[in-house]
Chain A
């Protein structure tokens, strides 16, 4: 066992470091390191412009979309090289947040399902950051049960072959900054829910598309509602066959969990620093036995996630496929951060209620507390993740699905449950 690079890995790391050293936007480093939850923290520059500028620079030098083939603007790098890149990119990776969904989910879906002409049109500007994508999947009435979505696509009756879209999506990150959207719709309500779906992509400036920011429970607005009012989409912007949208969406969702689960923070380093700097009855908080027990429990979660990641990297380094152990990442990190943030406020005593710039670490723990409920839901709720571990890792049987063979239009909806 060791934590060393192979000679080839060390060589690659050197190359990455020297390029970053010469090209990274160092004037933003300090600000990016302070990045808080739900924003990239930039104030000195327009965050969108800064993100696009960094992405363009990376693309010109071949460092964009390392997991994509070169013909579409990617870097065609191995999984291990991608890991090394992300370790080295460090705080600048915050600038990639704008493109996470496009590069990680929409791009791979287009790559698998679009025709060659569209791939050549869509993928290079996505890789280089000129165009931004969003994912239009969740709806107010279909979250974990995504296949229960209700946004309708019907063939236009003018013989054009176009589709007319009506309905509403929600929780769309970055819709207000997006040029394109990946949209899943219902084209047939007369068949069981998974069978009546069809996937499209569309310009977000199409007539009839309206983006409205959601004010979240923590007061911030990182997500949007997107309304479709007779929006017209040409048939050649359909991905996969009519009625095959569920299968197409699985390409997207498989990639979603991969990108969200990696390298998640629990907030432990910040809590530990806070406790090192804090006193209880004239002694360091870390000398208090109650504090120690709590901290130790957070510490072993942080370290367990860190070394679980390293086990996966070890497999990649040997050219093997990592095991299912990484599936615990978001489940552990989200719940741990929530509990940890509550504990940090507890240690602040009554003053824990105050959330301003004078709060410890500029109110970081208050921000964590208020943001962490979302982490436990977005990209697969804790409960969905437990189902995935139970069914795919442990081999337990799936749930009995009472709506499985029922035509979609006959499935009971909220407020209309049968007694």
Chain B
């Protein structure tokens, strides 16, 4: 039994962590929060140069050809530092979708650019308020062009291509849209986490090509989101761990009533519970990583498990990190709110917590009772 990363994968983790320490300090995240840029372009190019974006993309498409375990390791590190870059949109969702279901032409055109950091993608599924489901899709695909509106779309403001869920006749299809095409307009949306931009994307007769077969859109999108859920779970895990560390460090440093606040059980137990959440999430994410890297039959259950557990952990650690800090945790100057923002934004992306809770039990029920043991 080996439910752990290999020594080489741990070396990769150390390498990425060093790189991010240098290139993505809290000030870099704050620059995106407070400035006009929607992402850190220099950091993103650095990640491309490091081979991180193409880690799981085969060499024949310009990638590094490592694998998904390596991508999990990278995701955890990006999550720890709240990297303000469109990796989830472009790699976990965009590249994964093309690798799973794209045509040879689509792969040839986009995967090398993704790997090199030259193309940013966005995952355009949502259409407004309410849980994501097939009946909510109004945008249409006529075989050549798409028309309609998608919102909110993470990284839609900076993306070069979009993967769009559309009605094709009476069925749903997934389409690839080059956003330099005609009839595309983007409207920036304010959000709880401005370190990852959100937009409303409108298409009016914009040229598009289908990904996979007609009517297969929801099926493919579900498969892609399952895979992405594990990778985003690792980002959440990294964020949870870091929020716990920040809280722990503050509890050691801050004095009140003549002693370190971490010596009070009210604080100590809160931090212990954060450790418990983060540990459960780590174990569940490793299960997800195993399923992702081996394309196991349990992948849908493992994905929902990792996703629910990691969402719990990041939200729990980020909100209690503020609580440990007391009033200082609610200042703009401290970084606690950066973690709080990201934890809540990630809890909503590619389907909210309650959506994944529901999926987990639906899948366990459809599978077998063995899955519960």
Contact = CB atoms under 8 A, between A and B. Distances in A.
Interface of A: 1-5, 9, 268-269, 272-273, 276, 284, 286-287, 289, 291-293, 295-297, 299-308, 310-311, 313-315, 317-318, 325, 328, 331-332, 383, 385-387, 389-391, 393-400
A268 B373 CA distance: 8
A293 B283 contact: no
A305 B280 contact: yes
Given A269-B369, A393-B275, A317 B364 contact: no
Contacts of A385: 272
Interface in B1-57: 1-5
Nearest to B268: A390
B99 to A, nearest CB: 20
Contacts of B312: 297, 300
A396 B289 contact: no
A272 B3 contact: no
Given A296-B308, A307-B283, A307-B287, A399 B357 contact: no
Contacts of B248: 394-396
A386 to B, nearest CB: 4
Contacts of A328: 275-276, 279-280
B125 interface: no
Contacts of A387: 265, 268-269, 272
A311 B286 CA distance: 9
A88 to B, nearest CB: 14
A301 B294 CA distance: 23
Contacts of B372: 268-269, 272-273, 299, 302
Contacts of B309: 300, 303-304
B260 interface: yes
Contact of A308 (B1, B263, B279): B279
B361 interface: yes
B140 interface: no
Given A286-B361, A325-B279, A387-B265, A2 B2 contact: yes
A2 B361 CA distance: 25
B319 to A, nearest CB: 17
B252 A396 contact: yes
Given A299-B372, A307-B287, A387-B269, 12 more contacts: A1-B290, A9-B1, A286-B364, A299-B361, A307-B286, A314-B1, A314-B3, A317-B2, A325-B282, A389-B276, A394-B244, A400-B259
27 contacts: A2-B1, A2-B2, A3-B1, A269-B372, A272-B364, A276-B369, A286-B361, A292-B358, A292-B360, A293-B358, A296-B304, A296-B358, A299-B364, A300-B309, A307-B286, A311-B282, A314-B2, A315-B4, A325-B283, A332-B280, A383-B265, A386-B265, A389-B276, A395-B252, A396-B248, A397-B262, A399-B263
The size class of the interface chain B forms with chain A is: 35 or more
In terms of DSSP, what is the predominant structure of the interface of chain A?
A: helix
B280 A308 contact: yes
Interface of B: 1-5, 69, 244, 248, 251-252, 259-260, 262-263, 265, 267-269, 271-273, 275-276, 279-284, 286-287, 289-290, 293-294, 304-305, 308-309, 312, 354, 356-358, 360-362, 364-365, 369, 372-373
A376 to B, nearest CB: 14
B1 A386 contact: no
Contact of B294 (A2, A307, A315, A389): A2
A243 B271 CA distance: 35
A289 B280 contact: no
Contacts of A289: 354, 358
Contacts of B356: 296
Contact of A296 (B251, B276, B286, B361): B361
B294 to A, nearest CB: 7
Nearest to B274: A394
Given A1-B4, A303-B284, A307-B3, A272 B357 contact: no
B331 to A, nearest CB: 23
A3 B286 CA distance: 12
Contact of B2 (A1, A269, A332): A1
A292 B279 CA distance: 23
A189 to B, nearest CB: 28
A310 B354 CA distance: 27
A297 B308 CA distance: 8
Contacts of A4: 1-2
Given A296-B360, A389-B275, A286 B305 contact: no
Contact of B283 (A268, A304, A317, A394): A304
A314 B364 contact: no
A312 to B, nearest CB: 9
